[in-house]
Amino acid sequence: MVENFDEWFHDILEKANITDSRYPIKGMAIWMPYGFQIRKHTMNIIKKLLDEDHEEVLFPMLIPETELAKEGIHVKGFEDEVYWITKGGQTELNEQLALRPTSETAMYPMYALWIRSHIDLPIKYYQIVNTFRYETKHTRPLIRVREITTFKEAHTAHATKEESDEQIQEFIKIYKEFFDDLGIPYLISKRPEWDKFPGADYTMAFDVIMPNGKTLQIGTIHNLGQTFAKTFDITFEDKDGEHKYVYQTCAGVSDRVIASVISVHGEEKGLRLPPKVSPNQVTIIPILFKKGREEVLAKCSEIKSQLEGKGLRVNIDDRDIRPGKKFFDWELKGTPVKLELGPRDLENNITIAMRRDEGEKIELSLDDDLADNVVDLLDKTSENLSATAWNFQEEHVKFANNLDEIRELVEAGNVVKFYWCGEEEVGHEIEEKTGYDVLGIQEEVSEGKCIASGKDAKYIALIAKTY
Ligand code: PR8
């Protein structure tokens, strides 16, 4: 576990060639090649999960002011965060255009055109795009950016409320699978009224505990009810011939997912990437001397092909530098399994494997079983990274009986559960008195007393320091 997390995170992005934040606009950074690969493999997982039952689309980035302004609550929620385009060349535009902060108001006027009858429903579209938010809070690479480069947003429309609630459950299931694939633990909660998405009936959120105890929201799922349907007049003719408004949902993840992959599994010496998203799953490091050099390199290529035959991503680091430096580099970059091969290993028909998560050296023989044995090491790496991360979460969620205990536990790096009566003023009072944020409701209860009002508790809620 890293000591000074914020500093570690900042440094690792640069050292591991993930992003470069020196671009001369605050909150906007460059995806560097290694980071881009991690991002690509991560997004491929969520795409694959969504593609089973959703369709990918691509909308324009600009939204006319009249559309953005139509939904009152929504626009109020975003008014301080929108970037505007006011000119085309030298010409003032007749209507200013917003750089999408999210795409409800870009998509839903089109949904109104596309949806006519119940047979057009449900619509389940998603896109992966960049969105822009003029964040006023302290920006941080991947965590709070002004250009969200990896915004996966899904938008669905349904004939009934029941179907929209089922869709929320489907998104929860998809996000669980997604984060499970990444070995990222999560806390799921229903956001309090004051923190739901602008225009939503309710918001479900996934949060992860970062190494310093602060939580990061890594996914949100919103039931929009009929609010946007009424604003944008999205109606359909039902089986009974009646014209009705649709029910809608939307769900999003962002660059924060990649931030969490880096942070949750990382340690002082560098990244520990889950095999599913690591640019190289196996790095082969030849130990080269003048004598036997060609034979060792030839064997490395042979091993590479053998592993690629199993669908693995493999690289050979044959740079003309000391092997020690190569080990150091791949440790920093978090490649899950390293294979070392020198002339003596070749004579003995073995290679020395090392798992990044455990660091222990294992002798593998260079026979037909090699690829299976490597796959086995990768599977164990995935399981171990995930188990370690879930253990961390389990150890860092505590229960408090009063506000002082909340303070003590949060300051010690925990997320805290407490009984809450559910009243909004009481929620605000708890936030004000502690200085932390109520994440949301985890479960409904019929026992216990509210930690602040003393009234019968309705919920167990979560409170934490947040990003
Ligand atoms: C929606 N509409 O927009 P959401 N930097 C990085 N990640 C961010 C940032 C930022 N500045 N702001 C938000 N996120 C809905 C759902 C379409 C899709 C992350 O929802 O505003 C949030 O943590 O909740 C969240 O997980 C996701 O983007 C969606 O944003």
pLDDT digits over 343-395, tens only?
A: 999 999 999 999 999 988 999 999 999 999 999 999 999 999 999 999 999 99
Q: Residue 180 is encoded by which pair of tokens?
A: 């499970």
pLDDT tens for each residue of 67-85? 999 999 999 999 999 999 9
Q: Is the pLDDT score of 449 beyond 80?
A: yes
> Residue with the nearest Cα to atom 19 of ligand 1?
254
Q: Where in the chain is the domain with CATH 3.40.50.800?
A: 282-377
Q: How far is the CA of 83 from the centre of ligand 1 (A)?
A: 16
pLDDT tens for each residue of 384-434? 999 999 999 999 999 999 999 999 999 999 999 999 999 999 999 999 999
Per-residue pLDDT band at 3 (split at 50, 70, 90)? confident
Q: Is the pLDDT score of 176 beyond 90?
A: yes
Q: CA-to-CA distance for 132 and 82, rounded, in angstroms?
A: 7
Q: How far is the CA of 56 from the centre of ligand 1 (A)?
A: 18
> Residue with the nearest Cα to atom 1 of ligand 1?
252
Q: CA-to-CA distance for 126 and 107, rounded, in angstroms?
A: 10
Whole-number pLDDT of residue 240: 96
Measured at the alpha carbon of residue 32, what is the angle toward residues 31 and 34, in degrees to the nearest 5? 115
Q: How far is the CA of 231 from the centre of ligand 1 (A)?
A: 22
Q: How far is the CA of 141 from the centre of ligand 1 (A)?
A: 14
CATH for 5-265? 3.30.930.10
Question: Which pTM does this prediction carry?
Answer: 0.97
What is the position in ligand 1's atom list of the atom closest to the CA of 217? 23
14: closest CA among 27, 1, 30, 26?
30
* Residue the block writes with tokens 């809620």: 461
What percent of the chain clears pLDDT 70, i.e. is strictly above it? 100
Q: Residue 306 is encoded by which pair of tokens?
A: 């053998």
Q: How far is the CA of 285 from the centre of ligand 1 (A)?
A: 40
> Residue with the nearest Cα to atom 26 of ligand 1?
219
Q: How far is the CA of 197 from the centre of ligand 1 (A)?
A: 9
Q: How far is the CA of 112 from the centre of ligand 1 (A)?
A: 24
Q: How far is the CA of 397 from the centre of ligand 1 (A)?
A: 24
Spatial contact of 191 and 202, defined as CB atoms under 8 Å apart:
yes
Spatial contact of 337 and 378, defined as CB atoms under 8 Å apart:
yes
- With the most atoms of ligand 1 within 8 angstroms of its CB, the residue from 256, 262, 467 to mutate is 256
Q: Where in the chain is the domain with CATH 3.30.110.30?
A: 397-464
Spatial contact of 208 and 184, defined as CB atoms under 8 Å apart:
yes
Q: How far is CA 95 from the centre of its chain?
A: 35
Cβ burial, residue 185 (10 Å; 0-12/13-18/19+): buried
Whole-number pLDDT of residue 1: 65
pLDDT tens for each residue of 28-57? 999 999 999 999 999 999 999 999 999 999
Cβ burial, residue 115 (10 Å; 0-12/13-18/19+): buried
What is the position in ligand 1's atom list of the atom closest to the CA of 153? 18
DSSP annotation of 144 reads B
Q: Where in the chain is the domain with CATH 3.30.930.10?
A: 5-265
- With the most atoms of ligand 1 within 8 angstroms of its CB, the residue from 217, 221, 439 to mutate is 217
- With the most atoms of ligand 1 within 8 angstroms of its CB, the residue from 126, 187, 217, 220 to mutate is 220
> Residue with the nearest Cα to atom 7 of ligand 1?
254
Ligand 1 neighbours (beta carbon < 6 A): 102, 104, 133, 135, 144-145, 148, 153, 197, 217-220, 222, 250-256
- Taking residues 320-340, report their average pLDDT: 97
Whole-number pLDDT of residue 322: 94
Dihedral (Cα; 437, 439, 440, 441), 10-degree rounding: -100
Output phi, psi for 108, to 5 deg: -70, -30
Whole-number pLDDT of residue 181: 98
Q: CA-to-CA distance for 299 and 370, rounded, in angstroms?
A: 13
The string of DSSP letters for 264-308 reads: HH-BTTB----TTT-S-SEEEEE---STTHHHHHHHHHHHHHHHH
Q: Compute the mean pLDDT over every residue in the chain, rounded to the nearest whole number.
A: 97
- For residue 240, what are the contacts with CB-CB under 8 A and spacing of at least 6? none
Q: How far is the CA of 151 from the centre of ligand 1 (A)?
A: 7
CATH tag for 397-464 (out of 3.30.110.30, 2.102.10.10, 3.40.50.300, 3.10.25.10)? 3.30.110.30
Whole-number pLDDT of residue 2: 76
pLDDT tens for each residue of 124-170? 999 999 999 999 999 999 999 999 999 999 999 999 999 999 999 99
The CATH class of the 282-377 domain is alpha beta
